Amino acid sequence: MTEPEKPSTSYRKILIVEDEEIIRNTLGEFLTGEGFQVTQAGTVDEGLKAAKDQDFHVAICDIQLPDGDGIKLMKQMHRLNPSLFVLIITAYGTVESAVDAFTRGAFDYLTKPVIFDDLAHKLKRVFEYRDLYLENQKLRLELAQPNRFDQIVGSSEPLKQLQDTISKIAVTNSNVLLVGETGTGKELFARAIHSAGPMKEEKFLAVNCGSRPVEMLEAELFGSDSPGNTQPGILRTSGKGTVFLDEIARLPMGTQTKLLRAIEYEESMPVGGSEPYEVQCRIITSSSEDLLRLVGEETFQEDLFYRLDGVKIRIPPLRERLDDIPELVDHFIAKHSKSLRKRVVSATSETIRLLMAAQWKGNVRQLDNAIERAVIMCDGTSIEPSDLPPDLLGLGQPLPDTDDLRSALRHYERLHITRVLRQWPDKREAAKRLKLGLSSLYRKIEELNIELG
């Protein structure tokens, strides 16, 4: 099979900020003629607004603008988009301002009157440099994260089984559906599948299906050849890599049909286009909702459901793998101590017990956030129960507010029974695990005022 084509200049977006209309229009016409997507602005304000609306690859910016100077604008634009390359236009002979522009982060400069040959030559250089720069960034990122499988922390039995399943499925390069509650690690596992698969050297691109209006989402996914919006689409740019479609249930029905087509026929069509292209990537989808229920409610396409459901992996919620908590806690303490520059190295056994009794509706992400907060609150080197978020257990204060042993025991009895009941809502099973008779369990629930559900 042939390599995916290099994107043409029409995917290269250039912003021109120049107050002299004649110069601006002439530059605009020249660059559009060269195949670039061009946006024009006449002032700092307009330039900034355009840079907020979309990510440009290059900005060509006059040094003197009616409402400010081009160098300041460049700095503001760099804050919005650090990989923007800026060419500053200076008046002929003003070497000082050109030097100033360089030292403040401009890639190059042009002098007025702008010579088209000079501009074309400098743009060629910018884009060559930019491609190298992005490639370099990508390599550095990969070096920093050698294998996503290493990032999965935990050694509970359910997690071990999950990792086993993932390694088996990863090598087949088949499409996969990951189901699991929010924060269970679906994206992490999607990356692990990619990293353990045969195309691990290729790109991994993630899209959240519910985060944009349908037109934008479809253009981003399938590409667009519409006037004013030309983009290749990630099903194409991913090449033979992996596309991760997060929260697939949020995909509008029409878009679901297009995706089904891309999966079934391994081809897709850009929005407003007439030339289909081959889809070569692996598609990993995720859902925190029950897709079968959505099929019943007619908000999810049945055909797509059966297509995706073929290779499905369930990521168990954290409450079904409590044994992972101590390792995850250590991992998150190390992570947050480092980024917050604190000396926290551990959590007391009391803290771990409390963490294992919590409900974790937000799963691993919630645990991550709770530990971050605890590291911030912690004065010593070991996290104490009082450093934990007070509402974590949903039971008011995590610690008894008395030294009286009997009340403390009652408090822990309540915590323990609540945790077991959360893990095993079936009371017979819970009673068996607690080594209590069923009627004793009912009595405890009443005496200790335990809320169920």
Ligand X SMILES: Nc1ncnc2c1ncn2[C@@H]1O[C@H](COP(=O)(O)OP(=O)(O)OP(=O)(O)O)[C@@H](O)[C@H]1O
DSSP string spanning 356-367? HHS--TTHHHHH
Indicate the helix (H) or strand (E) that contains 451: none
Residue from 188, 206, 295, 345 binding ligand X (CB under 6 A): 188
Residue 184 or 256 with smaller CB distance to ligand X:
184
How many residues make contact with ligand X (CB under 6 A)? 18
Query: Under 8 Å CB-to-CB from 356, ≥6 apart: which residues?
Result: 322, 325, 419
| 6 DSSP assignment | P
User: By CB under 6 A, which span of 60-68, 249-257, 363-371, 424-432 interacts with ligand X?
Assistant: 363-371
Alpha-carbon distance 100 to 90, whole Å? 11
165 is a contact residue toward ligand X (CB under 6 A): no
Residue 70 or 317 with smaller CB distance to ligand X:
317
C-alpha 137: how far from chain center: 17
Q: Enumerate the H helices of 171-290 as residue ranges.
A: 186-196, 214-222, 234-237, 253-265
User: By CB under 6 A, which span of 4-12, 97-105, 145-153, 197-205 interacts with ligand X?
Assistant: 145-153
183 is a contact residue toward ligand X (CB under 6 A): yes
Do 70 and 25 meet the contact criterion of CB atoms below 8 Å apart?
no
User: By CB under 6 A, which span of 67-75, 107-115, 149-157, 292-300 interacts with ligand X?
Assistant: 149-157
Mark 269-288 with x for binding to ligand X (rule: CB under 6 A) and - for no binding: -------------------x
Alpha-carbon distance 149 to 42, whole Å? 50
Alpha-carbon distance 282 to 284, whole Å? 7
246 is a contact residue toward ligand X (CB under 6 A): yes
Alpha-carbon distance 402 to 188, whole Å? 43
> At its nearest, how many Å lie between ligand X and the CB of residue 154?
5
Do 371 and 384 meet the contact criterion of CB atoms below 8 Å apart?
no
Task: Residue count of the chain, please give it.
Answer: 453
Residue 47 or 183 with smaller CB distance to ligand X:
183
Residue 242 or 418 with smaller CB distance to ligand X:
242
334 is a contact residue toward ligand X (CB under 6 A): no
Mark 286-305 with x for binding to ligand X (rule: CB under 6 A) and - for no binding: --x-----------------
Residue 23 or 153 with smaller CB distance to ligand X:
153
User: By CB under 6 A, which span of 146-154, 169-177, 393-401, 432-440 interacts with ligand X?
Assistant: 146-154
Could you tell me the CA-to-CA distances from 126 to 58, 87, 116, 246, 387 in Å, in that order?
8, 9, 15, 34, 51
Residue 66 or 210 with smaller CB distance to ligand X:
210
User: By CB under 6 A, which span of 60-68, 109-117, 126-134, 151-159 interacts with ligand X?
Assistant: 151-159
User: By CB under 6 A, which span of 60-68, 105-113, 177-185, 230-238 interacts with ligand X?
Assistant: 177-185
Tokens representing residue 49 in the block: 């607004």
> At its nearest, how many Å lie between ligand X and the CB of residue 185?
3
Q: Computed over its alpha carbons, how large is the radius of gyration of the chain?
A: 28
What torsion, rounded to 10 degrees, do the Cα atoms 44, 50, 55, 57 define? -60
Residue from 186, 282, 336, 414 binding ligand X (CB under 6 A): 186
Residue from 187, 289, 323, 372 binding ligand X (CB under 6 A): 187
Q: How many CB atoms lie within 10 A of CB 400?
A: 17
Residue from 153, 206, 345, 377 binding ligand X (CB under 6 A): 153
What pairing do the DSSP bridges indicate for beta strands 277-278 and 267-268? Answer: antiparallel
365 is a contact residue toward ligand X (CB under 6 A): yes
- Contact residues toward ligand X (CB under 6 A) are 151-154, 180, 182-188, 246, 288, 331, 364-365, 368
